[in-house]
Structure formats: C-alpha cells, structure tokens
A and B are shown apart, each in its own frame.
Chain A
Amino acid sequence: MDKGATGPGAGAQATRVVRPEFTGSAGEYFRIWIVNLFFTLITLGIYSAWAKVRKKKYFYGNTRFDGQTFDYFGQPVAILKGRIVAFIAFVIYAFVGELYPVSRFVFLGIAAILAPWIIVRALTFNARNSAHCGLRFHFSGTPKQAAGVYLWGLVLAIVTAGLAYPLFMKRQRAFLVSSHQYGLTELHCELSGWAFFGVYFRAGLLVMLLAAPAALLPQYLFRHSGELPEYLSWATWVLPLVLIYAAYAVGYAYIQARTTNLLWNGTSGKGFRFSSSLSANTLMKIYIGNVVAVACTGGLLIPWAVVRTLKYRLESFAMTVTHEVVHQANPHFARVGATGQELGDFFNFDLGL
C-alpha cells in the first residue's frame, strides 16, 4: 500500500493534523449566485440545474483539504431530469391533496416506500460526482439498508412517542457517513446512542426553559393590551413569535453542533481519524445573524450567510493522520471523465463536509 507514497512525512509515524479551508469569498459567491438566479428566472427554472452545478463547483473548487481542492462533475441534464420528476410529483401531491385530503395518505405511503431508493440514488449520484485528488467518492449503502435505518427508525420513534428519536438520528448519521468511500478507503463510525440521548435531552430542557416565557407572554400581553398604545399593539403577537423562534434556533444549533461533533469524533478510517469542535453558542449566533440578515435584505444576504456558515463549519473540522496512506481508486468507478447518468438529486443531501 505504501510503495507509491512520495510526500514528505511518508512512512514516518509522526501524526499531523489536516484542516479544511475555504478560499472563496461572500462577494465573489454573491456575483455567481445572482447571475445564476437571473438565468434561472428567465428560463422559468430550467437553468436551476446548471446553477446548482456551478454553485457546487464553486464551493468544491474553493474547499482546500490537505493541499488539494475538491472537484464536482455532476451533469446538469441529469439534475434537471430529477428536478422535473420531483416538480411533477409535488404539483400532483399539492393539487390532488387539496381537492381530496384523504389522498395525502396514499401519497405519503408511496413516498415512504420509495424514499429509501430515492435517498440512496441521490447520495450515490452526489458521491460519485465528487472527487478529491482525482479519486471519486462512492456511496455503497443499499435501499434495503436505507429502509432499515429510515423506515424502521421512524416507526420505532413513533411507537416510543419520540423517545427513540435520538437513536434514529444516531443510526441515520452513522449510515450516511460509514456508507461513503473515498476510492477504496472506507470510513467507520462508532457512535454511542447514550451520547445522542444526552444531547437531545439537554436540547429539550433548553428549549422548554426558553419557550416557557413565550407561552406565558401572550396571556399577559392580551390582558394588558388595552394599556398598550395602538401603534405598539403588534407587539402582542410579534414578541411571542420572536421568543419561540429564538428557542427553536437555540435548540437547533445545540443539536446540530453536538451531534456533528459526536459524529465526526467517532469516525475514523485506516490511518486517520476525524474530529469536530463546533460550538453550539457560536453556531446559534451565526444562525440567528443569518436569519436577521436574510430577512432584512429580502434574501440578498443569502450568499453571505451560506459562506460564513460553511467557513465556520470547516474551521471546526479536522483530520488527524496517524499513519500516511496512499488512497487507491475503486477500479469500478475510477474513470474521472465518465458522465454520471443518474436520476438522483431529488433532495439536497449534503454531508457535513
């Protein structure tokens, strides 16, 4: 395995830490984003597939990891096909569902049966079209495994009235990461279910503590609304909403930060292990700042929000190389120029990295 290694440190047993770095800027991405948006609008959405590829190529090409950037080969036409199918399905669902509400259960049933297959296709499409150092990624999960994780997990979560939900999330995230391969290099996830329980339990307490005033406030305000001047009466319904949203943001950021840390700190491969040190506090400030900025600018600051969130997430991620390994291509999927004729990309599944 090691015979082809040339870099400095090859063969040496000294560990080194590799951190990803984002080399793009919000201003540059804004210009790409707005041009994408313009063409998407004048083509009534058709260009969105090309826009997505351009966006992904920009982010991949600006994410430097271990000295090299990533590369994305997704074909816009394949993505367009997926989007057209998804669009038609959505229109039928929305339309027929409004007219005959009962049909929604039929749709949900079909969606539940198809979901594992769609999820696996989308992940495979994304992985096979992503490369680093000329080697493609691969997703080896099967629809059967996905069904076990998603459907069985959801049933378990519902039967236990949500108590098993953290366990479901643990299995889901472990499935997503450990089914990915970089060339022939595999990833292993060892996650503790109890740790996930702990995160969700603390998040639940946190949200309840913050949401309690939001629940009591409207009663108080309504009782005293007569004393409020007319121009301030909007506060009676805006304030509780703001509080509930803040509680949600805190809970969401906490869960995101802690479960992502648990996930990557429990993930390793031959000769390397990952680590993640997201701070719930920082992530929460970023989310709230994003929402305020995006709402106040009618969406114009979306590129800025996306870039700064990604920068922080990348900063918190690291790979410790304990043993230099040359990664080998998977001979079945090695050809870089091959066009991926996949149906996938129904949903935007993006891994933490």
Chain B
Amino acid sequence: MTPIAAGYFDGKDSVRHDVSVLIGAGKVKLVSRDVSLEFDARQVRVAPRLADTPRWLYLPGGGACVTLDNAAVDRFAREKPFTRTLNRLEARPVYAVAAVALVVALVWLLIDRGLPPVVDYIAERIPRSAEKSLGEDTLEALGHNWLKPSTLPPNRMETLRRKFDELGMAAGDVGPLRLEFRASPAIGPNAFALPGGIIVVTDELVRLARNDEEVLAVLAHEIGHERYRHTMRHLLQGSATALIIAGVTGDIASTTSLAASAPALLLQTKYSRDYEREADAFAITLLQKDGIGPQHFAAILKRLEYRTKDKHRLGLPTFLSTHPPTEEREALARGAAGGAAKVEEDDSADDAAEKALARPPH
C-alpha cells in the first residue's frame, strides 16, 4: 500500500492541503500534518481517466482529492468498460488514423446515401398546396429587382400558354401548373420552376427560341423539376446537411466551421446536377409523349450555351457547377431524337442562328 501524493480540498474554501492517500482494506485514508481523514472506499467516487489530466477523487461530505499520479489510481480504480475502451482508442495514433477514415466514410455515407431517401420520403408527403405561398413569395421578391412585366405580343403568349397546358396534361401527376412570362434583361434567356407549380419563362428565352417547340422543350424540363419537387428536396437536403456539418464540427468558432463546410457545398452542387439530369430525362419522355421531337431540346440547350459563353462566364469547373455539362445533356436529347440526318440539318440551321445572335439587337 504505497501512499499517493495528492492535494485535498475540503470543499468549503480554496486552500490546498498536501496529503498522502492510502487505499486498502475497503478504506481511503488521507494523512498529513494537519489532516487525518478516513472514508469508506465504496463511497469515494473516482473520476474516469481522461488522457493524463489530474485525477479527482470525490469524497463523501463535499471534499475532494486531486492527484497527478494516474498510474497509481488506475491500479485500484475499476473503470467502466466503455471508459476503458475510450482510453485505449484515444491513446494510440493508429486508432486515430482509422477513426479519420471511418469518420470521412460515415459523413459521406450519411449525407450522400442516408439523406436523399429520407428527403424524398418527406418531400413526397408535403402537400403541393403548402409550397404555394413559398412560390408566390419568391416570385414577388424576384419582381422587385430581376423580373419586369413581359413585353411579348399577347397572341404569342396565348399560343404558348395553350401548348403549355397540353404539355402539363400529358405530364400526369404534377399538380396545378401556371406559366408566367417576364422580361428580364438582367437574367437573360432562362426559365425556372418555383415551388407550387409556378414556372417562369423570360421574354429573352422566348425570343432566343426559333419555334414554339424549343420553348416547350425548356418548359418540359421545368415541369420535371415540379414533378420531382426539386426545390423542396434541395431545401431539405441543404438544411439537413448544414445540421450534420454543424453537429460534426461542433463547438468551434463559426468562421472556422464555415471553412470546414466547403466540401459539403461541393456535395450540394452534385445534387443540383443530379436534379437537372432527372428533369432532363423527364422532359425527353414528356416531349415524346406530346409529339415534340427531343432534338428541339438539344437545339435550344446549345443556343443557350452559345449565348452565355459570349457573356462573362464565371469559368466554373464541372465539379462546382450546378448543371451537368451541356454536351452531355445535348447528347442525351439527340440520342432520344434518333434521326441523325434530321439532327445534322438542325445543326446547320443553328449555326446561322448563332451568327445572327452573336451581335444581339439590344
């Protein structure tokens, strides 16, 4: 029974008493010049070991002892099995390396494999009507800065609306759809799907298209976003990912944890690309069902890309982009269109249109 050098605090004041702790025969004894105490060993709670931090023995009555001699305490203290496991895992660098590999794999598994099915399940169960106010609010907010009233001739709008309704009929289970025309020099030729079945198409896109089929091809793609609830899924996936990253990186300063979430941001853009592919595939099936050749989709995609290339592009690499490469999307649509001769013909016509567009009238 070797004495353990320790400090004793009576819990009433901050004075440290240097003592020797003697343990044996079911007793814990503290001995020094001015202290002589004896406790029942079963009533003394020994703090679990943690690295090599000073070890506390909590005594009945509110006093406590602290010692740097962890090895001596370990000889008589019986740790819980889990604490023993923790200490073993924390002691060896090789376990730390294994833990890094497991943590990376688990985070990826959780975000990339675990979340999407859960997100899909929830998104499918949110009533479409619940999304409506969100879509209306977004449309109104965009109206302040980005979207202006359309300047298209009313009969053109009328024709497109009628054809869009036919397309929506063919789409099946997508809920009520509404087509909105807006002028937007700032956004340029574009179309987007807002929650609640609102699809916005810019005048610029309608003007860029050489025929109604091309506009409808883009609209079919947007109906695909509505069909699969992409906005809602994106929101759910985004907030769940943020929660996981916040939980994983935990108690650190916000600016630093922001830096740690960069890889998660890259994952977000991957979902975005997956959604686009899903909407593309939907659009092609829908167009075929409606008797519109998917080559129109390929044609407008190509022209859209040509338009944006001329502008200031951000020069994003593929893994940072929210859309799949246009070549890939085009190939998909052309593949679905089948007839190679017809595509060739379209190509030459496209080139002429592109030359005309190189110097836009406005």
A and B interact physically: yes
- Name A's B-contacting residues (CB within 8 A): 4-7, 24, 27-28, 30-32, 34-35, 37-38, 40-42, 45, 48, 51-52, 54-55, 57-58, 61-62, 67-69, 71, 87, 90, 94-95, 98-101, 132-135, 183, 222, 225, 230-234, 236-237, 248-249, 252, 287, 290-292, 294-295, 298-300, 302, 305-306, 309, 326-329, 334-337, 348
With contacts A31-B96, A55-B251 taken as known, whether A230 is within 8 angstroms of B315 at the C-beta atoms is: yes
Asked whether, in the complex, the Cβ of B14 is within 8 Å of the Cβ of A100, the reply is no
Does B12 belong to the interface (CB within 8 Å)? yes
Q: Is the CB of B11 within 8 A of A32?
A: no
Other-chain residue from B13, B63, B90, B317 in contact with A4 (beta carbon distance below 8 A)? B13
Out of A32, A41, A299, A302, name the residue touching B51 (CB < 8 Å): A32
Check if B50 sits within 8 Å of A38, measured CB to CB. Answer: no
Q: Which of B9, B239, B315 contacts A134 (CB 8 A)?
A: B9
- B314, A295: Cβ atoms closer than 8 Å: no
Selected from B54, B62, B255, the residue in CB contact (under 8 A) with A249 is: B255
Say which one of B258-266, B324-332, B335-343 lies at the interface with A: B258-266
B64 touches A41 (CB 8 A): no
**Are B13 and A336 in contact, with the CB atoms below 8 A?**
no
Known A-B contacts A48-B247, A302-B252; A71 and B56 likewise in contact (beta carbons under 8 Å): yes
Beyond A233-B315, A302-B249, A328-B14, list 6 extra A-B contacts (CB 8 Å): A34-B99, A38-B99, A41-B110, A52-B251, A328-B12, A329-B11
Q: Is the CB of B312 within 8 A of A300?
A: no
B13 touches A327 (CB 8 A): yes
Q: Is the CB of A34 within 8 A of B96?
A: yes
Number of A-B contacts (CB under 8 A): 186
Q: Tell me, in angstroms, the Cα distance from A335 to B45 when the chains sit together.
A: 13
Q: Are A94 and B255 in contact (CB under 8 A)?
A: no
Are A300's CB and B96's CB within 8 A? Answer: no
B346 partner residues in chain A, CB cutoff 8 A: none
Question: B315 and A234: CB pair below 8 A?
Answer: yes
Residues of A contacting B58 with CB < 8 Å?
A: 336-337
Q: Which B residues between 14 and 61 are near A, CB-CB below 8 angstroms?
A: 14-17, 45, 50-51, 53-54, 56, 58, 60
Task: For the complex, give the distance between the alpha carbons of A58 and B48 in Å.
Answer: 12
Contact status A32-B239, CB under 8 Å: no
Which chain A residues border B259 with CB–CB below 8 Å?
Answer: 290-292, 294-295, 299
